[in-house]
């Protein structure tokens, strides 16, 4: 069944002993949206994304993905999500095709559909020419494209991208940003960053987190007119 609300998190919380990494975050992602998750280092962005993708169990709260409760049916819920973690596992010894084939199998793409899925993901991410290259021999920018391709390999309605431009040079940043904007035509997106212009370039709505709590949740237009304290975000790259 098609749902307009693709992700609905309520009271999402993660504690580590006495320390609170994420405290009672409410978050909604609607179909067609690009939601920015903005905040300084240690704000709780990665922890939130790991919980939204079923890679970390919350200590409180609920997540529904495309109408399915993540805790009750993790396999069913995860089918609707593609995830690029902040530090994706790199498999330098595999070719792009080998790795994406592996990702397709992991995401439950039927064997008979895998060749077409690879073709489509590579085309979408500009990887067709490097299909047989070893991932270890690709630039960081191309490795990130491979990360994006594995996130869309099973055509999930949602992709969750954790700081996808960190460690890239300015040209690679521009390319990855523009690729994300293209992918957003087919997938709803949650994108995290600690850099304001990065979020302004592609997002329609933004949620600023600090010390695990939401401190601002508005449309991008509203964000531009607000005075945002500089300790929440970086206004440009260092």
Buried b (16+ CB within 10 A) or exposed e, 24-51: ebebbbeeebbbbbbbbeebbbbbbbbb
Least separation in angstroms between CB 133 and ligand ATP:
29
Query: Of 36, 44, 147, 164, which lies in the binding site for ligand ATP, with binding defined by CB under 6 A?
Result: 44
Distance separating alpha carbons of residues 70 and 54, to the nearest angstrom:
7
Q: Which segment (39-47, 68-76, 99-107, 142-150) binds ligand ATP by CB under 6 A?
A: 39-47
Least separation in angstroms between CB 34 and ligand ATP:
18
Between residues 134 and 228, which has the closer beta carbon with respect to ligand ATP? Answer: 228
Q: Which segment (41-49, 74-82, 89-97, 99-107) binds ligand ATP by CB under 6 A?
A: 41-49
What distance lies between CA 70 and its chain's CA centroid?
17
Question: Residue 156, interface with ligand ATP (CB under 6 A)?
Answer: no
Query: Of 41, 132, 185, 225, which lies in the binding site for ligand ATP, with binding defined by CB under 6 A?
Result: 41
CB 160 within 8 A of CB 190: yes
Between residues 117 and 173, which has the closer beta carbon with respect to ligand ATP? Answer: 173
CB 135 within 8 A of CB 96: yes
Least separation in angstroms between CB 164 and ligand ATP:
12
Q: Which helix (H) or strand (E) holds 189?
A: strand 188-193
Secondary structure tally for the chain: helices H, strands E = 8, 10
Q: How many CB atoms lie within 10 A of CB 19?
A: 8
Query: Of 7, 9, 12, 21, which lies in the binding site for ligand ATP, with binding defined by CB under 6 A?
Result: 21
Between residues 58 and 101, which has the closer beta carbon with respect to ligand ATP? Answer: 58
**Spatial CA neighbour of 34 closest among 179, 174, 230:** 179
Query: Of 29, 47, 160, 205, which lies in the binding site for ligand ATP, with binding defined by CB under 6 A?
Result: 47
Question: Residue 86, interface with ligand ATP (CB under 6 A)?
Answer: yes
Q: Which segment (4-12, 40-48, 169-177, 180-188) binds ligand ATP by CB under 6 A?
A: 40-48
Q: How many CB atoms lie within 10 A of CB 129?
A: 10
CB 204 within 8 A of CB 216: no
Q: Which segment (35-43, 100-108, 128-136, 141-149) binds ligand ATP by CB under 6 A?
A: 35-43
What distance lies between CA 144 and its chain's CA centroid?
12
Question: Residue 42, interface with ligand ATP (CB under 6 A)?
Answer: yes
Query: Binders of ligand ATP: how many residues, by CB under 6 A?
Result: 13
Q: Which residues bind ligand ATP (CB under 6 A)?
A: 16, 19, 21, 39, 41-47, 86, 194
């Amino acid at each position: 069944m098609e749902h307009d609300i693709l992700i609905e998190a309520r009271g999402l919380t993660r504690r580590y002993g006495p320390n609170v990494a994420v405290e009672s975050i409410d978050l909604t992602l609607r179909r067609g949206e690009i939601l920015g998750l903005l905040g300084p280092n240690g704000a709780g962005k990665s922890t939130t994304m790991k919980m939204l993708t079923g890679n970390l169990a919350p200590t409180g709260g609920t997540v529904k993905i495309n109408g399915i409760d993540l805790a009750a049916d993790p396999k069913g819920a995860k089918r609707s999500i593609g995830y690029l973690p902040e530090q994706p596992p790199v498999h330098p010894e595999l070719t792009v095709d080998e790795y994406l084939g592996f990702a397709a199998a992991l995401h439950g793409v039927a064997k008979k559909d895998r060749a077409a899925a690879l073709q489509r993901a590579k085309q979408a991410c500009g990887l067709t020419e490097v299909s047989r290259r070893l991932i270890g021999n690709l630039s960081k920018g191309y490795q990130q494209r491979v990360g994006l391709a594995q996130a869309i390999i099973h055509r999930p309605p949602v992709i969750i991208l954790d700081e996808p431009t960190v460690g890239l040079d300015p040209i690679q940043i521009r390319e990855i940003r523009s690729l994300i904007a293209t992918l957003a035509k087919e997938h709803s997106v949650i994108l995290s960053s600690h850099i304001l212009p990065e979020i302004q370039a592609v997002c329609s709505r933004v949620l600023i987190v600090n010390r695990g709590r939401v401190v601002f949740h508005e449309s991008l237009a509203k964000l531009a007119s607000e005075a945002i304290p500089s300790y929440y975000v970086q206004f440009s790259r260092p």
